[in-house]
Amino acid sequence: MNKKAKTVLPLLLGLTFVIAGCNTNTQDAQSEQKQEQAQKETQNEVKMTELQPLNTMTLQITFSEPLPEEDVNADDLENIKKNFEFDHDMSIVNVPRLKTGAESTYIVPVTIQKPGTTYTVTYKGEGKQSFEASEEKINIRQTKQVTNDTFEIESFKEDGVTDYANIIEAYRAGRGDLAFHIDDENKDGNGKQYQVISSLRDRVVTITSDDGEKIITNYVPFTQAADGRQAPKFRLPEGQTLTPGTEYTVTSDWTTIKNPTFIAEKLVPLTIKSAKAIDSKSFQITVDKDPGMELFAGRKVQLKGDDGSNIEAQYRFSSRKGSDGIFDVLNDETLQPGIKYSVVPMNNWAATDHASFIAK
């Protein structure tokens, strides 16, 4: 091999490697682009295919396939709300829930629909659907007082009304005999038609006294389908109580109540019998009787330490076991070891039998 050939050969080999490297880089870039495109296509695969307003606060939406887990995660509600773009200031109020027995049909609670309004909605920017506002309200049979600042409204399956907890897959295992299946037209196996109460999160009702005073009351979380009843609780604003002897009428823009009135009585509150420390952030209290449902919900107590400190604590949702409930301290406070804390109910929701505990 002559000297010129020896010189050319390395150059050719080098050029080959450069070209091969360029081809490899180009292939890698194309592969990444294809993967990104595939991911986008996968993200956009789920589309709304059918939408039916069930009542003034509930939609039933069928998608092209089941929603991914992250899109029904109750802990990520604020982000999930962004997936649904409505007009006319509508939004979802809780995550979609798959109906029992359905492949991709969900109960979706929304803000109250305005009569005569045509709404449009997209899911992640895809599959626009339009619907006329439903004016159907939930049929409630009765209402009654349960504490000095709380009352309930009750509906019944025999009246053709079911809470969504009975018909969604997420709660099926825990509902026992209350769980059942309804089809896309919301009829059971015997052809009985049902109204569906969706999530009552952030819902309100109004009570009007016989002298004309109107009070907006808020739903007490986790009470809408507890203890085998459909009797959600509503509570007056903090510090307000029902006036004994006064007749109240309950109304709302999402219910029709057959027996909407009750006469308030002065009821004996729960009594806190004892308390015990759990850790530096929480403690358990025991009341004199099982309050039922979640009547602890939203309740607060003040802890008065023998060192002069004052700490607020609030009931931990769904922690009730019979007459016991767990409370967590607020405002980044910490219970100090060895300090004795006396438990004082705030806003008179309970009496106290001088309950106290020593922090761990």
Instruction: Return the closest-CA partner of residue 224 out of 193, 202, 209.
Output: 202
pLDDT band at 99 (very low <50, low <70, confident <90, very high): very high
Same domain, 200 and 221: yes
- The yes-or-no verdict on residue 241 having pLDDT over 90 is yes
Same domain, 57 and 105: yes
Higher local confidence (pLDDT), 325 or 12: 325
Same domain, 56 and 17: no
- The yes-or-no verdict on residue 44 having pLDDT over 70 is no
The pLDDT assigned to 18 comes to 43
The pLDDT assigned to 292 comes to 85
Same domain, 257 and 143: yes
Same domain, 142 and 248: yes
Burial string for 110-130 (b: 16+ CB within 10 Å, else e) reads bbbbeeeeebebbbeeebebe
Same domain, 256 and 347: no
Residue where a domain stops, chosen among 194, 228, 263 = 263
The pLDDT assigned to 15 comes to 41
The pLDDT assigned to 230 comes to 96
pTM: 0.84
> Residues for the chain: how many in total?
360
Average pLDDT, the chain: 90
Same domain, 295 and 321: yes
Residues 262-280: what's their mean pLDDT? 96
The pLDDT assigned to 295 comes to 86
Name the percent of the chain lying above pLDDT 70.
88
In this structure, what CATH number is given to the domain that contains residue 275?
2.60.40.1220
Same domain, 192 and 226: yes
- The yes-or-no verdict on residue 56 having pLDDT over 70 is yes
Question: Are the C-beta atoms of 59 and 90 separated by less than 8 Å?
Answer: no
φ and ψ of 58, to 5 deg: -140, 135
Residue where a domain stops, chosen among 113, 132, 151 = 132
Residue where a domain stops, chosen among 223, 244, 263 = 263
The pLDDT assigned to 31 comes to 54
What pLDDT, in 10s, does the model give residues 142-189? 999 999 999 999 999 999 999 999 999 999 998 999 999 999 999 999
Same domain, 127 and 209: no
Name the percent of the chain lying above pLDDT 90.
82
Residues 93-109: what's their mean pLDDT? 97
Instruction: Return the closest-CA partner of residue 184 out of 100, 118, 112.
Output: 100
What is the distance between the alpha carbons of residues 310 and 137, in angstroms, rounded to a whole number? 46
Question: Are the C-beta atoms of 189 and 181 separated by less than 8 Å?
Answer: yes
Domain count, the chain: 4
- The yes-or-no verdict on residue 22 having pLDDT over 80 is no
Lowest-confidence pick of 49-58, 111-120, 285-294: 285-294
The pLDDT assigned to 38 comes to 45
Residues 207-229: what's their mean pLDDT? 95
Lowest-confidence pick of 44-48, 106-110, 156-160: 44-48
What is the distance between the alpha carbons of residues 90 and 87, in angstroms, rounded to a whole number? 6
What pLDDT, in 10s, does the model give residues 292-324? 888 899 999 999 999 999 999 999 998 999 999
Same domain, 106 and 219: no
Residue 342 sits in which domain range? Answer: 270-358
Same domain, 231 and 315: no
With tokens 């109540």, the residue in question is 257
Q: CB neighbours of 19 closer than 8 A, spacing ≥ 6? A: none
What pLDDT, in 10s, does the model give residues 66-80? 999 999 999 999 999
- The yes-or-no verdict on residue 4 having pLDDT over 80 is no
